[in-house]
Amino acid sequence: MHELGIASEIVSVVTDALNNQSIGRPVKKIRLTIGEMRQIVPDSLQFCFDSLTRDTLLENARLEIRHIPLSGTCSSCGREIEFTEPPFRCPDCSGTEMQMQHGFELDVTSFEVED
């Protein structure tokens, strides 16, 4: 279950931020930006996150995920394309060589703590 590794990344990023800013209040929401290629199952990510954060300031935090679709630029004609499913082919020139630009993101965008 690769969500576990990702959940532990998120926990360490947010925990570091709390420590660096000396925030001692519980976290209620964590916003994430996750590319489609990461193939995250949100429920399973939340489940792993919950199991890692028991008895910490993060224990009741909800994960809010913004999904970024896979997209790139055609190497032949430069058209920007958003991909839904393979085969990945340029609709203009039928080129198959793409430079992928989005879809691999995995970022903690922001988080909210209790007042």
Q: How far apart are the first and last CA of the chain?
A: 34
Residue ranges with strand state E in the chain = 27-35, 62-68, 71-74, 80-82, 98-102, 106-113
| Site stretch for Zn ion (CB under 5 A), options 13-21, 32-40, 47-55, 90-98 | 90-98
| Site stretch for Zn ion (CB under 5 A), options 19-27, 41-49, 77-85, 103-111 | 77-85
CA–CA distance, 101 with 48 (Å, rounded to integer): 28
Of residues 92, 97, 101, 109, which one binds Zn ion by CB under 5 A?
92
- Per CB under 5 A, 80 contacts Zn ion: no
Which residues are registered as beta bridge partners of 80? 73
- Tell me, by CB under 5 A, how many residues bind Zn ion: 8
Structure tokens at 101: 């630009």
C-beta of 1 vs 93, nearer to Zn ion: 93
- Per CB under 5 A, 95 contacts Zn ion: yes
- Per CB under 5 A, 76 contacts Zn ion: yes
Q: For residue 27, give the nearest of 48, 50, 2 by alpha carbon.
A: 50
C-beta of 94 vs 110, nearer to Zn ion: 94
The DSSP element (H or E) to which 42 belongs, if any, is helix 42-52
- Per CB under 5 A, 59 contacts Zn ion: no
Would you list which residues are annotated within the binding site?
Answer: 2, 74, 77, 90, 93
